[in-house]
Amino acid sequence: EDQVTQSPEALRLQEGESSSLNCSYTVSGLRGLFWYRQDPGKGPEFLFTLYSAGEEKEKERLKATLTKKESFLHITAPKPEDSATYLCAVSKYSGGGADGLTFGKGTHLIIQP
Amino acid sequence: DAGVIQSPRHEVTEMGQEVTLRCKPISGHDYLFWYRQTMMRGLELLIYFNNNVPIDDSGMPEDRFSAKMPNASFSTLKIQPSEPRDSAVYFCASSHGDENTEAFFGQGTRLTVV
């Protein structure tokens, strides 16, 4: 069974304090690993897709990396507006075409000014 | 484009009543997904469609749940009869093409069954 586990469940940082969020996954035939951001009362907002081990992507203060078993979301010098729940999800090969995502439960990140 | 549009945003209903949630995907997207989010279980895929055809409904929890996509611009998720354990936020998402492009999510419908 496909599994996505995120840690920590919650993280509180001071503004400017860099850290990393972890996403461990078990899936047969990884097609893509996705990172989303979710603000309270809103739907998940797409951040990154990673397809193969060693791949990295960056966007502003965020950088996502991927290995064969896990992904990290590095947050450099975060600001209060980076506070949100960060969700990791995987998609697998299932006979072609797009597929639904299997999500982790997320990391609730709070950046204190 | 206005993005994925869901209605209603909030729904409160009594146990045993029928509930219908609605979704308008992004124009041109050929995949549509229904997810449910709870504190206990997180985001779970319920069903998804490709070109209006249901592809995988293995996540639909019970026969009380049904989904339709009569055309490329509209989908419904129906619960009949509703139960308190169905209380959750239901999200609709859409994506484009066979490649694993990102899915765009709507704002969700918060369902409360009392």
Sign of dihedral through CA atoms B3, A82, A77, A33? negative
A34 contacts B43? CB cut-off 8 A:
no
Percentage of residues of chain A with pLDDT beyond 70? 95
- What would the pLDDT profile of A82-93 be if each residue is shown by its tens digit? 999 999 999 876
Helix (H, G, I), strand (E, B) or coil at A25: strand
Is B105 in Cβ contact with A43 (below 8 Å)?
yes
% pLDDT > 90, chain B:
86
Cα separation of B1 and A8, whole Å?
A: 36
* Shortest alpha-carbon distance between residue A40 and chain B (Å): 10
The first and second tokens of residue A33, run together, are 């690993």
Question: What is the tens place of the pLDDT at every residue in A31-43?
Answer: 889 999 999 999 9
Interface test with B, best of A7, A25, A39, A46 (most B CBs within 10 A): A46
B97: number of Cβ within 10 Å: 12
Confidence class for position A95, pLDDT limits 50, 70, 90: low
What value does the mean pLDDT take over residues B4-31? 97
Among A40-44, A71-75, A94-98, A108-112, name the one with the lowest average pLDDT. Answer: A94-98
Lowest mean pLDDT among A48-52, A108-112, B4-8: A48-52
Residue B98 CA to residue A95 CA, distance in Å, equals: 11
For chain B, say whether A57 makes contact (Cβ under 8 Å). no
Report the pLDDT value the prediction gives residue A96, as an integer from 0 to 100. 53
Chain B contact present for A71, CB below 8 A? no
Average pLDDT of every residue of chain B: 94
**Residue to test with chain A: of B43, B50, B96, most A Cβ within 10 A:** B43
A31 torsion bin: left (phi>0), alpha (psi -120 to 50), beta (else): alpha
Q: Give the model's pLDDT for residue B1.
A: 67
